[in-house]
Structure 1
Amino acid sequence: MERTVGDTVVRGLDVDPETRCAHYDTARDVVAVRAACCDTYYPCRACHDAVADHDHEVVPRDAFDDPAVLCGACGATLTVREYADCDDACPACGHAFNPGYKRHWSRYFAER
């Protein structure tokens, strides 16, 4: 399934208008991350694995200044560095992000 959020296409399972998916659907689950392997945004790693036909690759450290994180609430894109420093809320709209996402950093991004 594909869903357009702002100007960004997000792929996954049961993706809602704010990037929640079949795997994560709380009020704070409004983040999608661009997979380095296919330059496509997914709400979570499980969504990538469910719909892509290739292995997932995390965003490498040398791409931490490129847009890679999407706020599903407002459609703003953040760099990995901006996301790491945002205190679990979108710097553009203030919507709260699930703090658990950062606990799974290595699923989405190279180690800092």
Structure 2
Amino acid sequence: MNLKIREKGSVKMKKVEVKGVKVDKQTRCEHYHTEKDIIAIKFKCCNTYYPCHLCHEEVAGHESVIWKREERGQKAILCGVCKTELTINAYVNSGSKCPVCKSSFNEGCQTHYHLYFE
């Protein structure tokens, strides 16, 4: 897979497109780019993956809509390492590790759950 960092735009990842600002091949962006910032979130409002709420705000052109509690069975999280799509429940209960490849997710993302999930 030969992916390049792009300014505003998108990166195709194994049939999954991730839009945002300076998105790398593991879904890091201009706003969140530590070693553990390796997830993208599918926004309910546009059914599109973004690395973070700030990328959505800058690129999408519309207000975000959060996932309802009863929708937590939906696949809405992408592991940037193994490219597995996880359900919201699987992600929230993952202990900040991908259940498939065991890569560590940023534990601090939990403080932003309210921006994405009810």
In structure 2, the partner of 1:41 is 49
Three-state SS of the structure 2 residue aligned to 1:50 is helix
Corresponding position: 1:70 with 2:95: no
Match of 1:13 in 2: 21
User: What is the root-mean-square deviation of aligned Cα atoms in Å?
Assistant: 0.8
- Higher strand share goes to which structure? 2
Question: 1:100 matched to which residue of 2?
Answer: 108
Point out which structure has higher relative CO (alpha carbons under 8 A, 6+ apart). 1
TM superposition shift of 1:6 = 2.4
Q: Distance in 2 between matches of 1:16 and 1:36?
A: 22
Please list every run of at least 4 consecutive aligned residues from structure 1 whose deviation after the TM superposition is greater than 4 angstroms.
none
Give per-residue Cα distances to partners, 1:15-70, cap 9 Å, x unaligned. Answer: 00000000000000001001010000000000000001110111122211010000
Check if 1:23 corresponds to 2:31: yes
The count of aligned residue pairs is 110
Matched, 1:80 2:118: no
TM-score (norm 2): 0.90
Which sections of structure 1, spanning at least 5 residues, go unmatched?
none
